[in-house]
Structure 1
């Protein structure tokens, strides 16, 4: 195929090999998830296509201005600041790798700065809405909802009580549940393992599911999965999201949130109840305390609203 006939979304041979080498590095050396590798690949492919349009066929003659022009182009296309921030970080890591592995004569990303992302308060759930959601779910079991209703109660109780990620919930195995100690073992980001305590309602719901409903849905293909779908296979994150959206949709005035919204709610309600930030960080499995601190902003914002509404001289 001639250059004139080349698909504009295709990379030239040199950059295509470079991208494949980098993806192989991410897969074999960094032990990243498929989702993360897919995101990195997409970001770097976009960068390399931009560099080709500027006339570059290798990284040796690329400078930081060329990389900045790529980010500027993304901004004109309407990309959010958080996306630009992620892509700038991806470019820095990629260009550093290229230099360290002698695929580039220098590192044009060394002086690249990320756009500052506006910090927005994550939407969260009032404690009364969380109580109403769980009360309705439990009532569905008591009204004869069967195995699926038992499973859904256990999912909702576990997500709200522990703040685990949806991927962590779907990955739970039977051996990860210690009913005697009232804890679960979770495999989080970067294959980091942590132990998370269970409250009495969550443990009761989980025990009810394991002793009852799971036996009705599980089959030979279920393996050791704690949660299974209606066809007996390990539950899919999309199913869990539907469970949460449907449960909150039954609560009048509650925001439409997914599993991550229950994670936000758990963290916010812990802090409002007096838990210290470091403990919440450990429970959520955050690598950095700065990630956990966003929930203090949520609590402070609520305090500010309460002050402005109630104080005579606010």
Structure 2
């Protein structure tokens, strides 16, 4: 199935972000500005499945065609971090192919202006070809707080000019978020990238926020479980969500299943919505419980 899907992508939309399976047309609309998004995301899958022919074709495209700095549309910092950097670095971790590491460093070099010089926080979007930024706000998940990709890259290429700036950026980001205003101990899911202060009055563990908390755990484990402060930050954040009543049991027709909602700190009410990234919540809570127990 993977070989067939990849073959159709290669035939009809090679180098595009996505292929529409019915019309067999490459990406349109929002994804037009994201070349090779599916291809780079698929690298680690192709390697793990042993699809060597498909892997070689994909890496060849990355080496010959992928130039993040030439992208002429506005790119989200989240997609850059998790899809481009995350895709390239996870594939490098599996294969050790230097092409993937070099492309990762090149992406970071272009992305550097998107880290706010005062707060260290990533802005919402960047136009790589010109460096134009959307600096006013960003979702909590996307600000680059304790981002595993950045920590990994800083260990791989500590002497690279662009990479050498990452420890300072990570420290600045952490200082900003630790000092940010948190009503009832809750982080708000939209923040000002220039100050780290909340822009919204809503706290959530769903889309736009969950990776912020998850990165506390990921980085804690990634750094050898030596940074006790990170684990304490996670524990305090989760404790605040419990005290705000964001976790609920579905007692009416739900067979006691756990549900999480969003909480508005001004209106003091809940928004009964779970969205696509809430699928990560079970894993995050399980890992958090394990680490806190240890």
Give the TM-score, by structure 1 length.
Answer: 0.28
Instruction: Specify which structure has the higher proportion of helix.
Output: 1
| Higher strand fraction (1 or 2) | 2
Larger radius of gyration: 1
Higher normalized contact order (CA 8 Å, seq sep 6+, divided by chain length): 1
TM-score (norm 2): 0.30
